Amino acid sequence: MRDFSEFEKDIIKRIVSDSNKGQIASSVNIIIDEMEKVNIAAIEWDNTYTFVKFYGVENDKSYAKVLDIIFLLKYLEESRYIYSHLKKGTNSNFICASKFVKHGDYYITKNILSSDGVHVNEYLMIHTDIGKEIEERSKKLIHPSYLLIDLVLKDFKTPEQRKFEIQLNEAKKQTNYSRGALYASLAALVLSLVSTLFTTCTDTKIENKQLNQIIQSIEKQAIPKK
DSSP secondary structure, 19-68, as one string: HHTT--EEHHHHHHHHHHHTT--EEEE-TT-S-EEEET--SHHHHHHHHH
Does some domain include residue 197? yes
Closest CA to 137 of 80, 72, 79: 72
- Which stretches of the chain are DSSP H helices? 6-20, 27-37, 60-78, 103-109, 130-138, 146-153, 159-222
In a domain, 1, yes or no: no
Whether residues 170 and 214 fall in one domain:
yes
Residue 72's SS3 state is helix
Q: Determine contact, residues 15/25, Cβ cutoff 8 Å.
A: yes
Q: Is 179 inside a domain boundary?
A: yes
Q: Are residues 132 and 183 in the same domain?
A: no
Mean predicted lDDT score pLDDT of the chain: 76
Residue count of the chain = 226
In this structure, the answer to whether residues 73 and 174 fall within a common structural domain is no
212 in any annotated domain: yes
Residue at a domain's end among 156, 171, 186: 156
pLDDT at 2: 81
Give CA–CA dist 28/32, Å, rounded.
6
- Which residue would you say has higher pLDDT here, 4 or 38? 4
Residues 86 and 22 in one domain: yes
Domain that holds residue 14: 6-156
Position 25 in a domain: yes
Q: Which one of 97, 122, 156 terminates a domain? A: 156
Identify the burial level of 77 via C-beta atoms within 10 angstroms of its C-beta, where 0-12 means exposed, 13-18 middle and 19 or more buried. Answer: middle
Q: What is the pTM of this model?
A: 0.63
How many domains does the chain divide into? 2
Query: 187: how many CB neighbours lie within 10 A of its CB?
Result: 10
Instruction: Indicate if 109 and 202 belong to the same structural domain.
Output: no
- Both 191 and 171 in one domain: the answer is yes
Q: What is the pLDDT of residues 53-105, one digit of tens each?
A: 888 766 677 778 888 998 999 999 999 999 988 876 556 677 776 665 555 44
Q: pLDDT per residue over 173-219, tens digit each? A: 777 777 777 777 777 777 777 677 666 555 555 556 665 665 565 55
Most confident of 34-48, 74-88, 102-116: 74-88
Report, as an integer, the average pLDDT of 137-155. Answer: 89
Among 98, 124, 156, residue at a domain's last position? 156
Q: What's the rounded Cα separation, in Å, for the pair 67 and 140? A: 16
Lowest mean pLDDT among 140-144, 152-156, 182-186: 182-186
User: 61 in a domain, yes or no?
Assistant: yes
Same domain, 164 and 220: yes
138 and 168 co-located in one domain? no
Residues sharing a CB contact under 8 Å with residue 164, sequence separation 6 or more, in sequence order: none
109 pLDDT more than 50: no
190 and 81, same structural domain?
no
Residues 60 and 23 in one domain: yes
| pLDDT confidence of residue 107 | 40
Residues 176 and 68 in one domain: no
- 136 shares its domain with 193: no
